């Protein structure tokens, strides 16, 4: 459960800046959710950081290779299950059961939509994004088309929340951690590299 080890592992299997940024964003979003829901933020953060460990190198075996990689690195079965459950009904049949797994399943795709929406804003930031703006982007199926709205809606239902609650909480989580993710990313990818 060493965060530095988890980050090193993420960087070993991911070289694209976007994939690393996504891992960091999901980590911070999961930590925010864990605090809101009364769980261990370190544990939830590790799961968020590692959730796409295999996606860049093994997209056709996503959530399958992850289990192999994490097992070989000594991660516990509960971490492996949580990481793999976000591929439910796409790559694996591991249904999200724990609230953490349901949150990861729900926010993974949603963080992608929010990040893409931020890039379209004049500020290039989440800090001034309103829920109404996010909802417009969410309803526009051509926008960030690779991010499944169906998974996000199913994730909200798994959590027992309406879609607005999930959108608002995820937006708030990403807004509160935007600077942290940016600093971590600039450390990994220095400007003069």
Q: What is the pTM (predicted TM-score) of this model? A: 0.95
Token representation of residue 189: 């990818």
> What CATH topology corresponds to 3-188?
Hypothetical protein af1432 (1.10.3210)
Rg over alpha carbons for the chain, rounded to the nearest Å, is 16
Q: How sure is the predictor about 192, in pLDDT bands with cuts at 50, 70 and 90?
A: low
pLDDT at 3: 97
85-90, long-range: CB within 8 Å, 24+ apart, which pairs? 86/51, 87/62, 87/63, 90/63, 90/151
CB 55 within 8 A of CB 48: no
Return d(Cα 149, Cα 165) in angstroms, integer: 15
Give the residue extent of every domain in the chain.
3-188
Give per-residue pLDDT as tens, 10-49. Answer: 999 999 999 999 999 999 999 999 999 999 999 999 999 9
Give per-residue pLDDT as tens, 73-101. Answer: 999 999 999 999 999 988 899 999 999 99
């Amino acid at each position: 459960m060493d965060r530095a080890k988890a980050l090193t592992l993420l960087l070993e299997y991911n070289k694209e800046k976007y994939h690393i940024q996504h891992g960091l964003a999901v980590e911070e979003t999961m930590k925010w959710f864990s605090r809101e829901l009364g769980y261990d933020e370190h544990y939830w953060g590790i799961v968020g950081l590692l959730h796409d460990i295999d996606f860049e190198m093994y997209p056709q075996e996503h959530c399958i290779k992850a289990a192999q990689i994490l097992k070989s690195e000594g991660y516990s079965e509960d971490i492996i299950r949580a990481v793999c459950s976000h591929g439910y009904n796409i790559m694996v049949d591991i249904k999200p059961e724990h609230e953490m797994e349901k949150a990861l399943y729900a926010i993974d795709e949603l963080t992608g939509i929010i990040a893409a929406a931020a890039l379209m804003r004049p500020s290039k930031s989440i800090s001034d994004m309103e829920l109404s703006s996010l909802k417009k982007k969410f309803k526009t199926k051509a926008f960030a088309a690779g991010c499944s709205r169906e998974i996000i809606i199913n994730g909200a239902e798994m959590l027992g929340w309406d879609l607005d609650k999930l959108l608002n909480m995820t937006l708030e989580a990403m807004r509160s951690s935007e600077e942290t993710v940016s600093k971590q990313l600039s450390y990994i990818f220095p400007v003069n590299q």
